[in-house]
Structure 1
Amino acid sequence: MRATNLFLQYAPAIMELPVGQPYTKEQLLTEQFLLRREGTIEMYYAPHNEYVNSDAKVVLIGITPGWHEMELAYRTARAGLEEGLALDEIGKRVKMASQFVGPTRANIVTMLNKLGLHARLGICDCAELFDDADHLLYSTAILGYPVFVSGRNYNGHSPALQAVPFLKNWAVAEMTDELTQIKHPLLIPLGRAVQDILRLLAAAGVIQERRCLWGFPHPSGANGHRHRQFEEAFGEMRRTIAELSW
C-alpha cells in the first residue's frame, strides 16, 4: 500500500466536493486537478494509485482510467474521507470500486476461463477474482492517471502512445514502480499498446517475459477483432499459464 504525496496534496480539494452524488466533467476536469497538458492531450489527477496489492497472483493492465472510472474514484474517495477512513483503506476501496466493470469484465472472465486460469488458481470461476478471490487480483493501467485527448478517453493509439515522449516515459516509470512491488505475478496486458510497454520492461529486465500473456486482446466490446486475436494467441497463452509457478 502507498499513500502518495499527490493524494495528500489533493485531499483538501476532494473534501470540497459534495458527498453522495455523481460528479460532472465541469467539476473534475479542471485546472485544479490537471497534472499535465500537451496540445490536445490532458492528464488529470484521480485517486487510483494509492493502493498496490503486493500479494496479487494476477495483474490486469489497461491503458488508462476513463471518465467513468475517474468519476467513481473521486466519489469513492470523497465518501471515505467523509467517513474518516485511514488513507490505506480509502486507497483500497477506490482501487476495488474502479476495476473493470460491465461487458469488459465479462469478456475478461470468459477468456481467462477458456485459458484455464481458474483451475491454476484453485478457484471455480475467474469471476471470483472480482469477488471473494479479489486478494489474488490487482488491476492497474500503464497510465495510472486519466488521460483525455480533445476531451475524450485516450485509447493508446490516437496518438500512438510511444510517439508521445511524456506518455511513454510516464508509462515506463509507472509500471516499473508498481510491478516491482509484486512478487512473480501473471501479467495480462489488455491490448497492443499495453503489450508494447511491457515488451520494453521485459527487455530491460524489469519483468519476466515468460510471465506475460502476450497476445491477450483488449476486452472491450468495441474491439471487433478480439475473438480472432484470442484464437491466434490461445496456444501460447495456455502454455504460459500451464507452465506458471507462483
Structure 2
Amino acid sequence: MPELSPAAWSAIALSFKVAAVATLWGVPVATALALLLARGHFPGKALLDGIIHLPLVLPPVVTGYALLLLLGRKGPIGAFLDQQFGIVFAFRWTGAVVAAVVMALPIIVRAIRLSIEAVDVRLEQASGTLGAGRLATFFLVTLPLSLPGILAGATLGFAKALGEFGATITFVSNIPGETRTIASAIYTASQTPDGDAEALTLSAVAAVLGLAALVASELLARRARGALS
C-alpha cells in the first residue's frame, strides 16, 4: 500500500478533529431533541421530527447550500454572527463541524429517542412521586437508562461526521489544511493525474475507520446494557 502524502495525513487529522467536535456538540442537542420527541406532546411534533430528519432524504448538496445561504457572510444568520461577534463559519473548519452536526443529527436523535422510549415510564413516575422534579428525574432515571442508545448514537454520529462530504464541500469548499477532510481528499486525489493510488489508500482508511466505529457502537451499547441489567 503506497505511503500517504503529508496533505493526506492532514486531511485525516482534520476529519478526526471535525468529527470529535461535531459529536461533542451534537450529542447534547440530539439528547434534548430526542427527549422532546419521545416524551413531549405538542402541536407540530410531527413537523419538528420531519425537519430533524430532513437531511437524511435531501441531497447533501442541498443541505450544504442551505447552510451557505443561512450562515454565509451574506446570510441572515452568518452576517449577524460576523458583525456582532466576529464568528465566521463559511469556508472555515468550524463550518465543516456545523455541516457534520446537521448531517449526523438525525442518526443520533433516532438512536437516543428509541432508547428513551424503551425506558419504563412508570420508573419516571415513581421518581416524581418521591419528590424528584422533571430535571432530577431525567438525570437520575431517564439518562442512565438511556445510556446504551446515547453511546450508540454518539459513535454512529462520529462515524457519519467522519465521512461527511456533500454538505461540507458545498458549505466550506475544499481548502487544503482548512476544510479538506478525508472525503474531500479522496475526491481531490481521484480527480488528479496519478492520484488513484492515494485515493484508493484513503478509501481503505475511511472504510476501516467506519467499520471500527460501527463495531465500537455495538460493543459500547452491549456493555452499557450489561451494566444496567
Rg bigger for which structure? 2
Q: Do these two structures clear the TM 0.5 threshold for a shared fold by scoring above it? A: no
TM-score, normalised relative to structure 2: 0.30
- Asked which structure has the greater RCO (Cα within 8 Å, sep 6+), the reply is 2
TM-score, normalised relative to structure 1: 0.29
